[in-house]
A and B are shown apart, each in its own frame.
Chain A
């Protein structure tokens, strides 16, 4: 019999999760990553740093976020009880801020004065601009030109927060290209700049530190579920772009064998059409953005274009820890198509009065399917990773309505 894996012992000291992860960057950045790793290794166990992070999460972000029993939606679904982890209620409207608070504190302790970030949906860009404003640091956000159009509201929010938004015109003009450009900026300004990566991707130690900062989601949810229902949930469901909200929910439950985990990738127009953003479901292992992980690539190892109605899931890679969890079978990865996500968006809004982000709507749509196959006394927790205000323009456009 195989021994149980101690998931908390990963990544290993070289940043690997089994064959995945690592540090695939050009030499110029290696020392910056060593410096970041050293700073994080000492601060993550420093009581003052932890207290500072916890205080910010409580007083600035508004944590803990509630675990809400979606009673009416559960009744309509007719299966397991569905609970929503309300990350949409965080300051700035998504889980992304948990991570930017943590990384900005790191930046401050390391004496960095300039923040850069990449963004897809704009939620991470807004969360970065927010913490930079609060700490008086300059902030430069790289955003694919296509996303600048799709997420105009968040672009203006970032500008109001004092950030500079740099439209990226190379490649596919979406999140992956924004990340390339942020890396190029970092190489050029490596002395004074801190790169706040928005998900559990990138070179070691990013997948680890972003996960650690996001684990507040799962730690809270686990305790809240015990307090509110007297037991652990049977299943967890979260959408997977880079995978930060999913790993944040999953990780504190990895040792609880009875808890099933479902990561929901963007099926776009359908996995069979090739127009999707589901590397774990339909991709293969490779190296991109500093780590080895599942990718969407062609036979020559070129990264292929992705499609999703939600900008935050429109990414051809995924955090390396998810690749490892997939191979080990501890978590399962599934897809939800654009149209299914849009239905879930409308349904939750009408039935519960909660307007979810299109990213989170992928998790909701899958949770509904999954809950319907389960018993009424079972419990499903869905990570409601963000609110849907930013997506109103997209949905209106699909409805043929021109908002001015």
Chain B
């Protein structure tokens, strides 16, 4: 079992919501990614989603696209990111780490080599944005062999039939995309998220986190009220981008996570 299921169990017992920040590995630099990860945990993150940069990030809005481009300028690679996770594990054995990215870097490394290296590094979950369950059988088998969870997306356009199918293959948690659009979109509609959550809960007991468009305490608490956790991506990445790139300034960006943590903890279960 990965660290994800126990983490969500503990959160449920304590009637808390999962706070899941997303950063792109290597943005602004590989050296700063490690202290940034630790700082996010210190500010109250329960799970870290680490973006694996790709030259063609089709599902990303402009903020995260640029972060991918910045990271790639330094030649950040999937292998380097696995080393980063291994470094992180030296000082943090508890916080689950999920790699989020696109299929091609994983294809290039090879599924089984990726799965065993990810396990050795201490990765808990993998979310390949452009690999729906229909194409994921082989990767799933490799990940399952290493007790790594394959995390799938559900979207407002997903039919009930597909919710059932995706849930059957998913592990760890389900990542629910809040809106029709790319990351960082501004059109999150909480009522629509609630409707979707009701449809999802009819099919699965897996924890569900919601992402895309959650940018502050208000959107986070509204959305968290109907799910198990929230993912904060573009809002955090844009703060990292706006910093001057020095270590204190980059770490300062995480105050967003601290503030959202406080707001979430004010929610009663």
Residues in A276-300 with C-beta less than 8 Å from chain B = 285-290, 292, 295, 297, 299-300
The reply on A24 being an interface residue by CB < 8 A is yes
A26 to B69, CA, bound (A): 20
The reply on A109 being an interface residue by CB < 8 A is no
Q: Are A300 and B79 in contact (CB under 8 A)?
A: yes
The reply on B244 being an interface residue by CB < 8 A is no
Contacts A25-B132, A28-B177, A188-B182; is A302 near B58 (CB within 8 Å)? no
Q: How far is the CB of A137 from chain B (nearest CB, A)?
A: 20
A290 to B157, CA, bound (A): 18
Residues of B within 8 A of A23 (CB): 132, 134-135
Q: How far is the CB of B114 from chain A (nearest CB, A)?
A: 10
Determine which of A24, A32, A302 lies in contact with B135 in the assembled complex, contact meaning CB atoms within 8 Å. Answer: A24
Residues of B within 8 A of A177 (CB): 56
The residue in chain B whose Cβ has the minimal distance to the Cβ of A204 is B134
Residues of B within 8 A of A297 (CB): 104, 108
Q: Are B108 and A30 in contact (CB under 8 A)?
A: no
Residues of A within 8 A of B130 (CB): 24-26, 287, 290
The reply on A136 being an interface residue by CB < 8 A is no
A22 to B104, CA, bound (A): 14
Residues of A within 8 A of B135 (CB): 22-24
Q: Are B132 and A30 in contact (CB under 8 A)?
A: yes
The reply on A27 being an interface residue by CB < 8 A is yes
The residue in chain A whose Cβ has the minimal distance to the Cβ of B57 is A180
Residues of A within 8 A of B180 (CB): 28, 187-191
Residues of A within 8 A of B232 (CB): none
Give the segment of B4-12, B16-24, B148-156, B259-267 that binds chain A.
B148-156
The residue in chain B whose Cβ has the minimal distance to the Cβ of A30 is B132
A287 to B56, CA, bound (A): 11
A286 to B102, CA, bound (A): 11
A176 to B56, CA, bound (A): 8
A260 to B225, CA, bound (A): 64
Residues of B within 8 A of A28 (CB): 153, 155-157, 177, 180-181
Residues of A within 8 A of B162 (CB): 30-31
A304 to B155, CA, bound (A): 31
A279 to B3, CA, bound (A): 41
Residues of A within 8 A of B56 (CB): 171, 176-177, 180, 288-289, 303
A29 to B162, CA, bound (A): 12
Q: Are B156 and A26 in contact (CB under 8 A)?
A: no
The residue in chain B whose Cβ has the minimal distance to the Cβ of A300 is B77
The reply on A328 being an interface residue by CB < 8 A is no
Q: Are B132 and A31 in contact (CB under 8 A)?
A: no
Contacts A28-B180, A187-B59, A187-B180; is A295 near B157 (CB within 8 Å)? no
The reply on A231 being an interface residue by CB < 8 A is no
Q: Are B158 and A30 in contact (CB under 8 A)?
A: yes
Contacts A27-B158, A28-B156; is A302 near B105 (CB within 8 Å)? yes
Q: How far is the CB of A185 from chain B (nearest CB, A)?
A: 9
The reply on A170 being an interface residue by CB < 8 A is yes
Contacts A27-B132, A300-B77, A303-B55; is A184 near B182 (CB within 8 Å)? yes
A191 to B159, CA, bound (A): 14
Contacts A28-B155, A28-B180; is A288 near B104 (CB within 8 Å)? yes
Q: Are A184 and B59 in contact (CB under 8 A)?
A: yes
The residue in chain A whose Cβ has the minimal distance to the Cβ of B108 is A301
The reply on A235 being an interface residue by CB < 8 A is no
A301 to B102, CA, bound (A): 10
Residues in A198-233 with C-beta less than 8 Å from chain B = none
Contacts A23-B135, A24-B130; is A171 near B155 (CB within 8 Å)? no
Q: Are B103 and A24 in contact (CB under 8 A)?
A: yes
A-B contact pairs, 11 of them (CB 8 A): A14-B134, A24-B132, A26-B59, A26-B155, A287-B107, A299-B108, A300-B75, A301-B78, A301-B107, A302-B55, A303-B104
Other A-B pairs beyond A290-B130, A297-B104, A300-B77, 7, CB < 8 Å: A22-B135, A24-B130, A32-B157, A184-B60, A191-B180, A285-B107, A286-B108
